[in-house]
Amino acid sequence: MLQLVAENVRTYLLGSPAGWVDWLSHRLRYPTNQLLLDDQGNPLPPVPGEWDGWVRLVHQPTTKPPWVPTGLLPHVCWYAQQTGVAYQVMDQRVKPELDIPEVQVQIPLWPHQQEGSGALIRHGRGVIDMPPRGGKTRTLCAVQRNMSPRTLWIAPTDRIVRQTHRVIEGFFGPGYAYHQVGGQVPEHVARARVIVCTNATASMLQDEVLATRQAWIVDEVHHGASDQVRRLGERLPHVYYRWGATGTFFRSGLDELAMHALLSNVVYRVTAGELLRLGYLVPVRAAILPLPVPRLRMAARSTFHGGGHGTEGVHEHDVRNRVVSGVCAMLAARGRSVVCLVGTRRQGKILRDLVRQQLPHPASPEDQQVEFVHGQVEDQQVGQALDRFEQGRVRVLLGTTILGEGVDLPRADALVLARGEHAEVALTQAIYRVCTAYPGKSLSLLVDFEDDHHPRLREHALARQAKYAQEELFQTDRLSQLDHFPLWLDSLGVRDPRRPLGVPAL
Task: Identify whether 413 is part of a domain.
Answer: yes
Look at residue 303 in the predicted model and tell me its pLDDT: 77
Look at residue 504 in the predicted model and tell me its pLDDT: 38
Give mean pLDDT in consecutive 10-residue pieces for the chain, a chain of 506 residues. 96 94 94 72 73 88 93 95 96 85 83 96 93 90 94 91 93 93 79 93 92 94 86 95 87 79 90 91 95 82 78 92 96 94 95 93 73 86 88 92 77 94 81 88 95 92 92 93 94 65 40
Look at residue 354 in the predicted model and tell me its pLDDT: 96
Look at residue 495 in the predicted model and tell me its pLDDT: 62
Tell me the β-bridge partners of 14.
Answer: 3
CATH classification of the domain holding 140: 3.40.50.300
Closest CA to 434 of 350, 315, 341: 341
Task: Identify whether 102 is part of a domain.
Answer: no
Task: Identify whether 502 is part of a domain.
Answer: no
317 and 286 together in one domain: yes
Count of the separate structural domains present in the chain = 3
Range of the domain at 36: 2-91
70 and 137 together in one domain: no
Closest CA to 28 of 61, 63, 64, 70: 70
Edge-to-edge strands, sheet with 266-269: 177-179, 194-198, 151-155, 215-219, 241-246, 125-129, 266-269
352 and 246 together in one domain: no
Give the containing element (helix H, strand E) for 371. strand 370-373
126 and 259 together in one domain: yes
Task: Identify whether 384 is part of a domain.
Answer: yes
Q: Are 381 and 372 in contact (CB under 8 A)?
A: no
Look at residue 215 in the predicted model and tell me its pLDDT: 96
Q: Are 416 and 340 in contact (CB under 8 A)?
A: yes
Task: Identify whether 500 is part of a domain.
Answer: no
C-alpha–C-alpha distance, residues 207 and 231, integer Å: 13
260 and 302 together in one domain: no
Closest CA to 67 of 277, 261, 273, 314: 261
Look at residue 38 in the predicted model and tell me its pLDDT: 63
Look at residue 406 in the predicted model and tell me its pLDDT: 66
Please write the tens of the pLDDT for every residue from 467-477.
999 988 999 99
C-alpha–C-alpha distance, residues 4 and 89, integer Å: 5
